[in-house]
Structure 1
């Protein structure tokens, strides 16, 4: 059985403050507990090994199965609402870094609320192509290229009613890349896709393709992947 890795980073106060003492439970796709961890003074857990499948499947363009194993994480801390994150992909020889932001309980709350987030499949694993949405009118071109920082992210298709959040532009690129492609691909392929993501986003800003102040969107939960 192949091995991948997972570490969790917990924050609060809009990601500004590390949160120590958070109880972390990692479960497999059947809900069976695999690890029980506690975050340290930096709000991080140790890097733990998890069973997955061979990375050769994710490098085979004709493979139609799921080239990774999925896990779930439950984060709990005294005085904070809980968070359950499911469908976390683990790839062979790769480390998944899962950032978790916990929200303090309100004074009127008697018990914590558990929020749930599902990461879902990367776009490359989807059988149907996603269609771009936006205006068909002639775009207005800005005088110069602007790098939005932070960038407003619409958590859904442009026409859908969904929340808007703000992230830094580098985090936006990392989030989109981790939701579009597999981290096991050759470095040249990763670079080419990341350059395309950056170019596409800046083109949409430069041409105001979605209209003035229209948020740019991604459906991904921020999961950043690095080599172990």
Structure 2
């Protein structure tokens, strides 16, 4: 039987999305059975609405939770189109983890991976100085720095030595979590497909039609593979593949949830990219939302 909750403030709705949490160790990615997951509204203290446990595969049951009307994410709207939830993970022998701001869209399934480490093994990979993970706002509902224009096909001479003769899909890429010149920003090794799923979940809405999601995902793939192929940042003396800054690259948000339907699209098309005739190099497909940021001559996000 569906449980009905009243979401605070603007959330007077009978729309629902769903959430599945996956808990595993940070080393070896071993699933954690019996982890307790407490779910509440982000920003509302003592708002626990559900407590669930992981199974032998480290996964929770899929639960339905209130979300805004789907129209908010299909048409321009001043209303936030997603609900935000907080998950607190506790399990014997492991450090607790808190994830704030899980973004739940209506009629879609959100997937949240959470890694834990044994008690006494230092700082959790997903916690800095004991702080919780805070998922930043979606790019379509927040004004991040606009993309600095670049040539869509790079002059090889500009990037230093090129080690790739043709596009290759890497297993991992290194994401610099900040602008290129920010030496204090952390670098993260991220599986290529996981990176694409994260960016797509951060830059488009999972409620959009599948063909629209495919088109935008293809643009994200092409941009990423251009950075990989040209060794763009390594050619400038940096030790990473790409950044999380919207001014330079695409929005990757550490620790964020993805969406099941976006994940399926990425799994189906991740070996594809856009290119010009007789040019091996993937196109650096720069784009903007076309509303909060105008970009004449570029691609705009398709709804």
- In the superposition, the TM-score normalised over structure 2's length comes to 0.68
- Contact 1:82 1:102 (C-alpha < 8 Å) held by counterparts: yes
Number of equivalenced pairs: 223
Q: From the CA coordinates, give the structure whose radius of gyration is larger.
A: 2
- Contact 1:82 1:114 (C-alpha < 8 Å) held by counterparts: no
| Aligned match of 1:214 | 240
Find the partner of 2:74 among 34, 59, 64: 59
| Aligned match of 1:95 | 109
Q: What is the aligned-residue RMSD (CA, Å)?
A: 2.5
| Aligned match of 1:117 | 133
Find the partner of 1:226 among 260, 263, 266: 260
- Per-residue CA deviations over 1:141-189 (Å, capped at 9, x if unaligned) read 4422132211112222222222212121111111111111110011121
Q: Separation in 1 of the partners of 2:48 and 2:171?
A: 39
- Contact 2:37 2:53 (C-alpha < 8 Å) held by counterparts: yes
| Aligned match of 1:73 | 87
After superposition, the Cα gap between the structure-2 partners of 1:132 and 1:24, relative to the gap in structure 1 and judged at 3 Å, is farther
Higher mean C-alpha displacement, 86-95 vs 163-172 = 163-172
SS at match of 1:138: helix
Query: Of Structure 1 and Structure 2, which has the larger fraction of its residues in strand?
Result: 1
After superposition, the Cα gap between the structure-2 partners of 1:193 and 1:107, relative to the gap in structure 1 and judged at 3 Å, is closer
- Which runs of no fewer than 5 residues in structure 1 stay unpaired? none
| Aligned match of 2:276 | none
SS at match of 2:159: coil
- In the superposition, the TM-score normalised over structure 1's length comes to 0.88
| Aligned match of 1:9 | 22
